[in-house]
Amino acid sequence: MIGMNTAAIYILQTLGSLYLLIVLLRFILQLVRADFYNPLSQFVVRATHPLLKPLRRIIPSVGGLDLASLVLAILVQIVLMALTLLLAFGTTGNPVQLLIWAIIGVTGLFLKIFFFALIISVILSWVAPHSHNPGAELVNQLCEPVLAPFRRLLPNLGGLDISPIFAFLVLKLLDMMVINNLAAMTGMPAVLRVLM
């Protein structure tokens, strides 16, 4: 029976995290003003539209921020965490604590999306510079708002862009020093840390 619960938790977390990633990408793509007509953006829109449509009636956008998709990401995270706790320990836990853990988890995933987008961007700049592939264009649009502040601060090194190094450092430090410490301080179980 324990093996079945472990397998169920693994499947739940894998599939749930994939959908959570898509929902959070919907928020991030609007946040960075990515190309709406990119085929990958269209996929994200279609995949999230059924659950976002009713939320949009209740939660308006504020200042160009799609708050409905952010609320949906937190709700999906709460459901994933509650189901994981139910399978692992037989209880769903305290709703207020679940909300706090969900916010921490979504914030951690938010940082990880930018971290891995930067890795992909750096690799693409080596193997396929100036690529017009829809995926490459979308990754570059995701990374540009993260890299722009560092590019303004760093001197021009004659075509060598070291801004991703500093962006990596900041994102990793935020993850290690803020997100992980918040998770530990709030008593987040190890089985839920996979979701952030």
Burial of 190 (0-12, 13-18, 19+ CB in 10 A): exposed
Distance CA 75, CA 102 (A): 8
Return the residue matching tokens 């799609």: 66
Distance CA 179, CA 166 (A): 19
Question: What's the pTM value of the predicted model, to 2 decimals?
Answer: 0.91
pLDDT tens digits in sequence order for the chain, 196 residues long: 467 888 999 999 999 999 999 999 999 999 999 999 999 999 999 999 999 999 999 998 888 888 999 999 999 999 999 999 999 998 888 999 999 999 999 999 999 999 999 999 999 988 888 888 899 999 999 999 999 999 898 877 777 888 999 999 999 999 999 999 999 999 999 999 887 7
Identity of the residue numbered 57: R
Tokens standing for 50? 């059924």
The string of DSSP letters for 81-122 reads HHHHHHHHHS----HHHHHHHHHHHHHHHHHHHHHHHHHHHH
Q: What is the tens place of the pLDDT at every residue in 120-172?
A: 999 998 888 888 889 999 999 999 999 999 989 887 777 788 899 999 999 99
Identify the sign of the CA torsion 57, 18, 184, 166. negative
Return the DSSP state at 65: B
User: What's the pLDDT at 49?
Assistant: 95
CB contact burial 151-170 (16+ within 10 A = b; e otherwise) = eeeeeeeeeeeebbeebbeb
Contact between 97 and 114 under an 8 Å Cβ cutoff? The reply is no
